[in-house]
Amino acid sequence: MYLGPFYFDTKEIFLVLAAILVALSLYFGWSLIWFNPRTLLMLIVLMLITKGLLPAIHNEAFFILAIVTIFLSLYLPLFQIVLFYFISFALFRLLKVI
């Protein structure tokens, strides 16, 4: 789908929608069960930035990492999650997964 000069694939549109939903939940104070909306919003911002740096052929590895990161946010503190995300990215690059 084209929005102005930019092309968005389905996954990117869903990611942007998720970001909007999480931002709305923070703004209106809706509580999410188990998940912390502030942590989720921070992670989604990081994901949008890193997704912007990747070509679409690496979607699979990226989305596995995104799902695992979001799941781990249930158990680990935010800083450790952010470290995990960036270290995974660096290792993906080193091992030529992406």
Nearer to another protein, 35 or 84 (CB): 84
Binding site for another protein (CB under 8 A): 60-61, 64-65, 68, 72, 77-80, 83-84, 87-88, 91-92, 95, 97
First to last CA, the chain: 24
| Distance separating alpha carbons of residues 57 and 72, to the nearest angstrom | 25
The secondary structure of 32-77 as a DSSP string is PSSS-HHHHHHHHHHHHHHHHTS-GGGHHHHHHHHHHHHHHTTTS-
- Supply the minimum distance, in Å, between the C-beta of residue 79 and another protein: 5
Q: Which lies closer to another protein via its Cβ, residue 1 or residue 95?
A: 95
Of 3 and 57, which CB lies nearer to another protein in the complex structure? 57
* Cβ closest to another protein, residue 15 vs residue 98: 98
Q: Give the tokens for residue 30.
A: 């809706």
> Considering the complex, what minimum distance in angstroms separates the CB of residue 64 from another protein?
6
Supply the minimum distance, in Å, between the C-beta of residue 4 and another protein.
34
Residue type, 1: M
